[in-house]
A and B are shown apart, each in its own frame.
Chain A
């Protein structure tokens, strides 16, 4: 784990402790994938509405705390700004609101919506003849929703080679409706699929810049709660739970011990 990703996870834990909100394990599983996107896409954190920017849509909106901390880690705003997470008049809700958060291109939360919006954005870029790229991150649990597969069918039929779907394969639905072999499924739908270690930023960046002539899907093999043994081994218990003070210290200890 690189230091930026560790810093982001540390802030996720701290903000969740302070606010009493946040889905920590699912936020932890996407940190490296989001960092890889923001370190390869065309964007300017000081001009989040830059006209020719690439677009990222967080389809699994409940990972907003991870998303906000990645944006903070890439200079969109300060981590301290996010400390009001979930508060009444905060810009930073437990699901992102595009009208409040610099860098958020869509307001998401109900699963299976963001990917359809991203398909529309990618089609718009094609119609306009621009070189903009569109990225969206979906969860494996989210992919229980039929709209995910509708959107993929439409995207491949329209040959949207400017669309990259990052699939957070953190096995969150193992107890419910698992999706075995997601890479095979996306290939069967006509996508160009790359499987990668979802916690290896360099491998993910390489996958993101690999040329393709189809809808690209990066299946990131991830661990829900990556970086803290307690979270990874008890992901269901911690799905939507904030650490108390002593738990925070323990989790921070585990996070920093993993650096050794």
Chain B
């Protein structure tokens, strides 16, 4: 997804001289061709995330459409006040693009995990929040949103899904409608595991890449079902809860630092966000409606 981000921004920059890239000494080599082509619009500014956000807001104030990019928790959770005041309160736009989603850097430990930023950024007025899941989404949604002069957050991952989804900003995707009593709702790259887990289960499946604004109309269609929110972060559950009085259940992060190492797959498995864990959660909810539903044999491999 990072490579797609670079490709899309580089293509856009050929047509739009207002595009500026600001990096925090991450993805620098990847952006080498952008740097070569547009040296006056490329700034590897330093490992100073608070200032990266402030400078991005300052660039935006003068009519530019900047992209600021580095590792997720440092650019967002560390810089939440710069995003809140310098971008959102000042109403200066700009595109915040992060890598290292949730457990992408599992081996680096909890300092490099990001659990909360989607939820935190959703609460900021004027902010748009996207948890992108596929390369197609990266390309389409950056193109549609980058120059809207609003602060927009794009969360990227090194583990995208390859499933076709609705590419319209603010719209969810109904991937499976069984008329079932249980609806699984998810967002971002974890969709791959969710699809595998739920492929042959009698559940509806709804997907979102845009967490703010959330597609309330789509959620409303499943008001009369039990909604199982499967997400490897905080933010989606809270977004769906904008629709009042739903029967919601969260299957995601524990209220604890996931202090293991290894890979994203190792940690997902440990906390039940591998296909088997997601399947078990869905089956548990299904069993409330139909005791006949029993756990089935695993149908796929861990992603």
Contact = CB atoms under 8 A, between A and B. Distances in A.
Interface of A: 98-99, 105-110, 113, 115-125, 127-128, 146-147, 150-151, 153-154, 157-158
A154 B58 contact: no
Most chain B CB within a 10 A radius of its CB, from A105, A108, A154: A154
Would you list the 4 A-B pairs with minimal beta carbon distance, nearest first? A120-B58, A116-B54, A124-B62, A120-B55
B261 interface: no
Interface of B: 20, 40-41, 43, 45-46, 48, 50-51, 53-64, 81-82, 85-86, 89-92
Given A110-B81, A125-B62, A157-B46, A120 B54 contact: yes
Given A106-B61, A120-B61, A127-B40, A154 B85 contact: no
A109 B84 CA distance: 12
Contacts of B57: 116-117, 120
B54 A99 contact: no
A124 B50 contact: no
Given A151-B51, A157-B46, A110 B90 contact: no
A151 B61 contact: no
Nearest to B47: A150
A124 B51 contact: no
Contact of B48 (A118, A127, A154): A154
A107 B48 contact: no
A123 B86 contact: no
A52 to B, nearest CB: 11
A147 B56 CA distance: 14
Contacts of A110: 81, 85
A125 B86 CA distance: 18
B217 to A, nearest CB: 31
B64 A151 contact: no
A166 to B, nearest CB: 17
